A and B are shown apart, each in its own frame.
Chain A
C-alpha cells in the first residue's frame, strides 16, 4: 500500500500540486466550491424532509440533485488531485479516514432518504437527520485534517 501511495505522490499529479505556484490554491478553491454545492444541496434536502418549508414538494427538489452531483464530481476530481500532495500522510490520518467514511455513508443515506420519501415511509426524518449529521462530520473532519495530523 505504501508503495502505491508513494508512487502516486511522486507521480505527475503529486509534482503538479506541490510545485506549480497556482495549482494547489486553484484546486483547493474548487474543492471549497464543490463542498458548498454538495453540502448545500444535501442539507437543504434533509432540512425539507425534517419539516422545514413543507410547502415545497420533495420531488421538486430533484433537479437540484443534478447541481449537487456536479459539485460532487468537482470534489471527487479536486480531492483526488489534492490527495497526491501527500498521499502517504493523508491515508493514515484518522481525520481523513473518518472524512471519507462520513462522505460515503452520507451519500448512501441520501439515497435511503429519497427511497423512504418515495415509499412514504416512517423513517424519513430519522434518516434525514443521520444523513445531515454524516455530512457535518465530513466537513468538520475535512477542516481538521489541516490541524490533527496524527
Chain B
C-alpha cells in the first residue's frame, strides 16, 4: 500500500470527521496522549529502575505488576495516536520524525518481548537488594533510552516536516 492509499484509508473513517469537525477533539486526544506517556514512562521507570539497580530494594516480583499498566497506557497512546493520524495522515506518514518514532516503537516492542520471554522468569526470583543479571540491565537501559528518544521524536514531529 502506498502513502496515498494509506492516507485515504485513514481519512475514510468517522474518526477523521470527529477530529476535523469537533474543535475540542484534537486537544482532548493530545491530553490523553500526554497522560498516557507519563504513565507508560513512569511504569517503565519502576521496572527498569529496579533492574538497573537504582531502586535495588523494590521487590522485583511486585514491580512486574507495572507491566500491565505500561501496556494499558500504551494502548491509550496507540488509540490517541491513531486519531492524530486520521486527522491529517499526510502530515505524519511522510514526516521523518514520525517515521523514526514508529520504527523505534517497534524496536522498543521487540526489546520488551526479549525482556518478557528471556528475563522475566529469572528476574522474578531476584531477592530484594540483589543485582540483576547483566543481560537484563542492558535491556532495561535500552528501554529507557529508546522511550526517551521516542518522546523527543514525538514532540519534534511538527518540526521535522521537510
Q: Which residues of A contact B (CB under 8 A)?
A: 22, 25, 28-33, 35-37, 39-44, 47, 52-57, 59-64, 66-67, 136, 139-140, 142-144, 146-147
Identify which of A39, A43, A63 contacts B55 (C-beta below 8 A): A63
Minimum C-beta distance from A8 to chain B (A): 24
Minimum C-beta distance from A3 to chain B (A): 32
- Chain A interface mostly helix, strand, loop or mixed? helix
CA distance A54 to B63 in the complex (A): 10
CA distance A30 to B148 in the complex (A): 9
- Please state if B62 and A55 are interface contacts (CB–CB under 8 Å): yes
A–B complex contacts, Cβ < 8 Å, 26 sampled: A28-B155, A32-B151, A32-B152, A32-B155, A36-B42, A40-B38, A40-B39, A40-B44, A41-B42, A44-B42, A44-B43, A44-B46, A44-B66, A52-B69, A53-B62, A55-B59, A56-B63, A57-B59, A61-B55, A62-B55, A63-B49, A63-B54, A63-B56, A64-B54, A67-B45, A142-B34
- Please state if B155 and A39 are interface contacts (CB–CB under 8 Å): no
- Please state if B65 and A40 are interface contacts (CB–CB under 8 Å): no
CA distance A57 to B129 in the complex (A): 12
Q: Chain B CB within 10 Å — which of A41, A44, A139, A142 has the most?
A: A44
- Please state if A139 and B31 are interface contacts (CB–CB under 8 Å): yes
Within 8 A of A (CB), among B26-69: 27, 30-31, 34-35, 37-46, 49, 54-59, 61-63, 65-66, 69
- Please state if A41 and B45 are interface contacts (CB–CB under 8 Å): yes
List 4 A-B pairs, minimum CB-CB distance, nearest first: A40-B42, A55-B62, A39-B38, A60-B57
Interface string of B115-155 (1 = CB under 8 A from A): 00000000000001000000000000000000110011011
CA distance A143 to B59 in the complex (A): 35
Identify which of A43, A54, A66, A143 contacts B39 (C-beta below 8 A): A43
Question: Which A residues are in CB contact (< 8 Å) with B155?
Answer: 25, 28-29, 31-32
